[in-house]
Amino acid sequence: MTEKFQNLSISINELPKVEEVDFHPIDPKYLKVSLIGSAIFFIILAAGAFAILYFGDDITQLGIIITIGVYLLLLVWNLTLTILGFKKKKYAIRDRDILYSKGLIWSVRTAIPFNRIQHAEIKQGPIERNFGLSSLKVFTAGGQSSDLVIPGLPNETAQRLKDFILKKTAEDGEPTV
Amino acid sequence: MENQPFDFSEPRRQSTVAIGIILIKFIRMTIRAFWPILLSLFIGGRAGSRFEDIIGFVLLGFAAINLGGSILTFFRFYFHLDKDAIVIDKGVLRRTKTNIPFERIQTINFKQNILHQLFNVVSVEIDTAGAKKSEISIDALKRDEAMALRDFILAEKAQIVPEEIEDQITEEEQITEKEILYLKPLDLIKVGISQNHLRSMALIFAFVFTTLNEITEDIAGLLSDQFAEYEDYVVNNVWFVFVLSTILVLILSFLFSLVNTILKYYELRLSIHKKGLKLVRGLLNREEITINRNKVQIISWSTNPIRKLFNMFTLKISQASSTEASLKSNIKVPGSYQAQINQIIATVFPEDRYQFEITYKMHHLLKIRLFLFLGILPTVLGLATYLGLGTDALYFLLILPVSWILISLYYGKRSYQLNPEFLKSNGGLFGRSHDLTQVHKVQAVRVKQSIYQRRKRIATVLLYTAAGHLTLPFIEIDRARALENFVLYRIQTDSREWM
């Protein structure tokens, strides 16, 4: 690979490379959590649509067909994204930063160095709790757009990661004045 | 601070002027919330005298509630300084006690509206970054008292927070302020002329239509009623009326932005002191914003075609804040010259490396992709109306050249620059815009790829700071990865304060 930016005083090729890192997949059980979440959403949606169709006044047959069609389309789309997108959710912890990548259609890889992390916490929804899973949330300063959530971690892993991050943040974040 | 004339350790009330200021704040809030009702009462009230009585009572009621509320609010508001925190105890119905440690306080800003100016008091706003309940404000304090409070808090904070001690040594320098920008009346007029008049126009239209909407359900009916008597004339002179109303709207928008500019940026002064920048501005509402140098994340400057004629830029300095949406603590100076901008950059980002040898363009597929979505797709949709409109639909073909020209303008200006210390993103359509940040201010790097981008081996890189992000769309994947690795490496090995 040739040098991509010539005017930098260090050689980029010698830097640790994000693209060569081994990412860990998240817990396979999280796929079930996502699917149950989708199922609940679609059951509520179906109930709502049914209520409208049932109590609505002039519902034509065409209207019903279109509703069912759109519903099925959404369902298939959601299932495809959930199942295929699941494999794309991966994370990695390096010496000085945390990486998370996801996304089937839009793949997004986020990297946050430990010395820029403000805070980390563990979150757990009711479905996740049943499967013994947690999400790890990493906060940065100034708004939520650069915050990071890694879902589908076994409780114990999440706790260990959080402790590790907070320790690293404290070490790396110390201003060396 | 031994010779402290004010004793902040005991709970204190605000200056008594605060009652009036809170009252006005309340009245404004009431009017803002209920103005459609009030307006309709006034308009509907003309019908009979009984209505007028009712309006009188309603207004009296509103006034009484507001007056009572503001007096209670005033007497239930105390603040004092604890050993290492400012404590505010307030609330009539729901009492709250807020405790903000000095080290969490980011900035203390003063504001004055016309009433404040009359009585020589200021409202004090204390901003903390990171915390959820991020702001507390004191409505009115005597100016010297407020200054003493601020100095005291900042001095205490400097003792607690270790890295700022070294700055304390040069206290003399801190006092000397150097003014680098003063908006002269002529400059102010220039700024007013070169404001975005389209936005003023939209604001005027929005205002007129919401007001009309409150008064009557049937805007079209009202308009046609009003213009009925001129109808013959209008029909015969469509072009005349059109030109006339266009000129009228243009003049109105122009005046609106001019007045707005003068109100907002009157007597604007930007000065440098040891720790950062201070901005004072405004005619009726006098505002004072201070920014600590370390907190500055992004310096942006941009220009539009008219402002370019005056060689002026709009300068924006964004600092780390609790929420990205809170733009209040950002400094915006609409009439600054290149030399002043360079001076500010040199002050805020004191590195002598602010020179870029190479400018990198975005991948040319960005242009094609934009043209597909903003040019070809709308045209195809437009042509689809051929069924309904007939040959008139062919006008939609005009989208193609127009969008191509606009996209070419945009693409021609879109670029980015990088050196070991700085990162700069350039853009603009008719004017130009630049965003500059120090590489070590970045706190998260995101690399995005759509399916299309993955196929073409390009990526979009987003660099997040504590005050917004820079977007670099459509970069070759190797370069995007190199950028990602480099920025991460630079953040991780930089031990300077970044906010």
Q: Which of B424, B427, B425, B393 is nearest to B407 (CA)?
A: B427
pLDDT > 70? residue B417: yes
The CB-based long-range contact list for A52-61 (8 Å cut-off, 24+ gap) reads: none
The alpha-carbon gap from B494 to the nearest alpha carbon of chain A, in Å, equals: 9
Q: How far is CA B160 from CA B11, B156, B182, in A?
A: 23, 6, 35
Is A141's CB within 8 Å of B418's CB? no
| Per-residue pLDDT at B166 | 44
Mean pLDDT for the stretch of residues B432-461: 93
Q: List Cβ neighbours of B261 (8 Å cut-off, separation of 6 or more).
A: B188, B191, B192, B195, B334
Candidates B439, B495, B497, partner chain A, best to mutate (most A CBs within 10 A): B495
Q: Which of B448, B465, B478 sits opposite A106 (nearest CB)?
A: B448
A10·B449 Cβ contact <8 A? no
Rounded Cα gap, residues B254 and B246, in angstroms: 12
Smallest CA–CA distance, residue A113 to chain B, in Å, is 6
Evaluate whether B120 touches B142 at the Cβ level (below 8 Å). yes
Q: CB within 8 A of A75, min separation 6: which ones?
A: A42
Quick check: B357 and A118 CB within 8 A? no
Q: What is the pLDDT of residue A153?
A: 93
Surface-to-core class of residue A42, CB atoms within 10 Å of its CB (0-12 exposed, 13-18 middle, 19+ buried) = middle
CB B36 within 8 A of CB B214: yes
Q: What is the DSSP string of B49-65?
A: HHHHHHHHHHHHHHHHH
ipTM > 0.90?
A: no
Cβ within 8 Å, pair A5-B129: no
From A65-74, B17-26, B347-356, the region with the lowest mean pLDDT: B347-356
CB B177 within 8 A of CB B273: yes
3-state secondary structure B216-267: CCCHHHHHHHHHHHHHHHHHHCHHHHHHHHHHHHHHHHHHHHHHHHHHHHCC
Q: How far apart are CA A52 and CA B486, in angstroms?
A: 56
Our CA-based measurement puts residue A29 at a distance from the nearest CA of chain B, in whole angstroms, of: 26
Quickly state the pLDDT bin for B169 (edges 50, 70, 90). Answer: very low
Instruction: Tell me the three state secondary structure of residue B299.
Output: strand
Interval B151-160 mean pLDDT? 80
Among A88, A86, A134, A94, which Cα is nearest to A112's? A94
Residue type, B37: I
pLDDT at position B171 over 50: no
At B137 the pLDDT is 82
Classify residue B282 as left (phi > 0), alpha (psi -120 to 50) or beta. left
* Average of per-residue pLDDT across B277-294: 83
CA angle B181, B182, B187 (to 5 degrees): 110
How sure is the predictor about B475, in pLDDT bands with cuts at 50, 70 and 90? very high
pLDDT tens for residues B56-83? 777 788 778 888 888 888 888 888 888 8
Euclidean distance between CA atoms A68 and B77, whole angstroms: 59
CB B306 within 8 A of CB B261: no
Taking 80 as the threshold, does the pLDDT of residue B103 lie above it? no
Cβ–Cβ under 8 Å, residues A31 and A86: yes
Report how far apart the first and last C-alpha atoms of chain B are (Å, whole number).
27
Q: Mean pLDDT, to the nearest integer, of B475-484? A: 92
B92 or A163, which is more confident? A163
Torsion, CA B195, CA B288, CA B112, CA B183, rounded to 10: -40
Looking at every residue in chain B, the average pLDDT score rounds to 81
Q: Which residue bears the tokens 């302020």?
A: B177
pLDDT of the residue at B108: 83
Window 294-313 of B: residues touching A by CB (8 A cutoff) are 297
Q: Measured between CA atoms, how close is A145 to chain B, in angstroms? A: 8
pLDDT in single tens digits along all 177 residues of chain A = 345 676 676 777 778 888 888 899 999 999 999 999 999 999 999 998 888 878 877 778 888 888 889 999 999 999 999 999 999 999 999 988 999 999 999 999 999 999 888 888 888 989 999 999 999 999 888 767 778 999 999 999 999 999 999 888 888 765 543
- Residue A168 distance to chain B (closest CA, Å): 12
Interface of B with A in 409-428 (CB under 8 A): 418-420
The answer to whether B131 faces chain A, any CB pair under 8 Å, is no
- Does the beta-carbon distance from A107 to B448 stay under 8 Å? yes
**pLDDT at residue B189 is higher than 80:** yes
Q: In which residue are the tokens 């590790």 written?
A: A164
Task: Tell me, yes or no, if B445 comes closer than 8 A to chain A by beta carbon.
Answer: yes
Query: Residue B166: which residues within 8 A CB-CB, separation 6 or more?
Result: A177
Domain borders along chain A are 29-86, 91-172
> Scanning the structure block, which residue is given the tokens 């704040």?
B25
Name the residue among B412, B402, B191 with its Cα closest to residue B303.
B191
Is the CB of residue B307 less than 8 Å from the CB of residue B197? no
Q: Best interface-test mutation with B: which of A107, A119, A147 has the largest number of B CBs within 10 A?
A: A107
CB contact under 8 A, B485 and A175: no
Q: Give chain A's contact residues with B (Cβ, < 8 Å).
A: 1, 4-10, 12, 15-19, 96-97, 103, 105-116, 118, 140-146, 148, 172, 175-177
Q: Which of B481, B490, B494 to mutate to test the interface with A (most CBs of A within 10 A)?
A: B481
pTM equals 0.76
Average pLDDT value for residue range B220-240: 67
pLDDT tens per residue, range B197-213: 888 888 878 777 777 66
Task: Please tell me which residue of chain B has the smallest CA distance to A102.
Answer: B448
Q: Which pLDDT belongs to residue B130?
A: 54
> What is the predicted pLDDT for the residue at B90?
84
Tokens read off for B129: 């970054």
Span B478-486, mean pLDDT?
A: 92
B249-288: buried (b, 16+ CB within 10 Å) or exposed (e) per residue? Answer: eeeebbebbbeebbebbbebbbbbbbbbbbbbbbeebbbb
Least confident of A56-60, B226-230, B307-311, B410-414: B226-230
Euclidean distance between CA atoms A112 and A100, whole angstroms: 9
pLDDT recorded at residue B323: 56
The pLDDT score that the predictor gives to residue B215 is: 62
Q: Give the model's pLDDT for residue B412.
A: 94
The neighbour count for residue B92, using CB atoms within 10 Å, is 14
Q: Are A144 and A167 in contact (CB under 8 A)?
A: no
Measure the CA–CA gap between B286 and B266, rounded to whole angstroms: 9
A91-172 is a CATH 2.30.40.10 domain: no
